Structure formats: structure tokens, C-alpha cells
């Protein structure tokens, strides 16, 4: 499992959730199956590189016309750097775990 976290996530406690997942994996003796990548000043939406950085989004709730602001967090430059860096790491992770002929569990 690969977890990519922005440590400036304003949408939810994703860093704490990742720590909880790591603790549960460790307790189950499966810590070796977890890879974590954290970016200190990145926000919630770490998307493919060169996607625009959006710190907040305004939604209109269905039926009520009430406006809701969702905060995503992140600083522009570190967030953009995280998107670029994480993309290559995500692709490498997928290549290794899904397509590698040296990995006996690949393609299962």
C-alpha cells in the first residue's frame, strides 16, 4: 500500500490517519507492505504534476443552496513540487508492484 500525504492538509487529519494505519500494519506484522511519502507543506489534493494548486473550493449543497467552503491547504510551490515528486514515485511503485517480472506476486 502506498500512502501519499500532504502535511498541511486542511481537509482532514490525514497525517494522523496515516500514522494510525502504520500502527495497525505494524501490529499485524505487515509493516513491510506499507510505503509512506509525506510532503511537509503540501495540502490535501496531491494530483498529477502541473495540475493547478487549489487551496479551497466553494460548493453549493444540493437542495439547500447553502455555500460550503472546503479547505485543502498547502503552499503553492511546495505543493507543486510534491505533485511532481510524488507522481514519479507513484508510477515507480505501480511498476514495481503490478508489472515487475521479478516480483512473484505481481499481476495477481
What is the secondary structure of 29-83 as a DSSP string? T-GGG-EEEEETT--S---STTPPP-SEEEEE-TTT--EEEEE-B--HHHHHHHH
| Residue 63 resides in a domain | yes
| Residue 106 resides in a domain | no
Which domain, by its residues, includes 73?
Answer: 2-99
Better pLDDT: 54 or 106: 54
| Residue 62 resides in a domain | yes
Q: How many domains does the chain have?
A: 1
| Residue 14 resides in a domain | yes
| Residue 76 resides in a domain | yes
| Residue 107 resides in a domain | no
Q: Is the pLDDT of residue 106 over 70?
A: no
pTM, whole model, 2 decimals?
Answer: 0.81
Q: Is the pLDDT of residue 67 over 50?
A: yes
Amino acid at each position: 500500500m502506498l500512502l501519499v500525504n500532504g502535511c498541511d492538509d486542511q481537509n482532514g487529519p490525514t497525517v494522523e490517519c496515516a500514522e494510525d494505519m502504520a500502527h495497525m500494519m505494524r501490529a499485524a506484522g505487515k509493516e513491510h507492505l506499507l510505503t509512506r511519502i509525506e510532503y511537509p507543506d503540501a495540502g490535501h489534493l496531491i494530483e498529477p504534476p502541473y495540475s493547478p494548486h487549489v487551496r479551497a473550493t466553494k460548493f453549493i449543497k444540493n437542495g439547500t443552496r447553502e455555500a460550503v467552503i472546503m479547505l485543502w491547504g498547502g503552499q503553492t510551490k511546495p505543493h507543486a513540487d510534491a505533485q511532481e515528486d510524488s507522481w514519479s514515485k507513484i508510477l515507480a511503485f505501480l511498476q514495481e508492484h503490478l508489472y515487475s517480472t521479478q516480483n512473484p506476486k505481481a499481476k495477481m
